[in-house]
Amino acid sequence: MTLAFVTGNPGKADEARSILGDVERVELDYTEVQSDSLEEIARRGVEECYEELEKPCFVDDSGLFVNCFSGFPGPYSSYVYSTLGNEGLLQLMEDEEERDAEFRCVVAYHTGDRVETYVGVAEGRITREPRGEGGFGYDPVFRHSSGETFAEMTSEQKNEVSHRRKAFEQLAEAVG
């Protein structure tokens, strides 16, 4: 079965394909409600997408949670990325020694009669300089606990260990 993935982010869609196989990317401008919970944002988003598409579909709401900022930018990652970008984030953290961070990915899947959510987390640290050319978004400034930034890894390497991998694996199991 080809699943419909509603996202405006082609990087996410590529990763979903390499993890799940057959995925149809649908661009639909659904409402991302203001909430400090990725799960709430994803759940409400997929309900709206299902109403529009009238077929099973899923969305991915993800974010970078930085420890020394109590989890900021978290659910606001998209806005912070498009305003401050990676350079802005590094500047904010210039004097910070405590650089632990995690990526979280919540996938919300509308089966046709209910919504299921799956969470994946990847732990690492924020670098002092951007490193690597691969991936997208915050990848150059996120050094995964295995040693390299997500942008230094090949897409296969990132997809082995990423937050998205962990969430999508659960989706893959659920859809069989």
| Token duo for residue 114 | 């209910």
Compare residues 68 and 78 and give the one whose CB is closer to ligand ITT: 78
- Closer to ligand ITT by CB, 85 or 113: give it: 85
Cβ(13)–Cβ(23) under 8 Å?
yes
Q: Is 36 a catalytic residue?
A: no
Distance CA(155)–CA(158), nearest Å, equals 5
Q: Which residue is nearest to ligand ITT (CB)?
A: 137
Q: Provide, rounded to whole angstroms, the least separation between the CB of residue 149 and ligand ITT.
A: 10
CB of 5 to ligand ITT, least distance (A): 8
To ligand ITT, the closest distance from the beta carbon of 43 in angstroms equals 13
- In Å, how far are 2, 30, 43, 58, 159 from 23, measured between CA atoms? 6, 19, 19, 10, 16
Identity of the residue, 82 or 97, whose beta carbon is nearer to ligand ITT in the bound complex: 82
15, 162 contact by CB (below 8 A): yes
Interface residues with ligand ITT (CB under 6 A) are 7-9, 12, 60-64, 77-78, 81, 103, 135-139, 150, 162, 164
Nearer to ligand ITT, 103 or 168 (CB): 103
Q: Are strands 23-26 and 3-6 parallel, antiparallel or unpaired?
A: parallel
What is the rounded distance in angstroms from the CA atom of residue 119 to the CA atom of residue 103?
11
Smallest distance, ligand ITT to C-beta of residue 114, A = 21
Structural contact between residues 30 and 45, judged by C-beta atoms closer than 8 angstroms: yes
Q: Which helix (H) or strand (E) holds 10?
A: helix 10-20
Name the active-site residue from 61, 100, 113, 139.
Answer: 61
Catalytic residues, which ones?
61
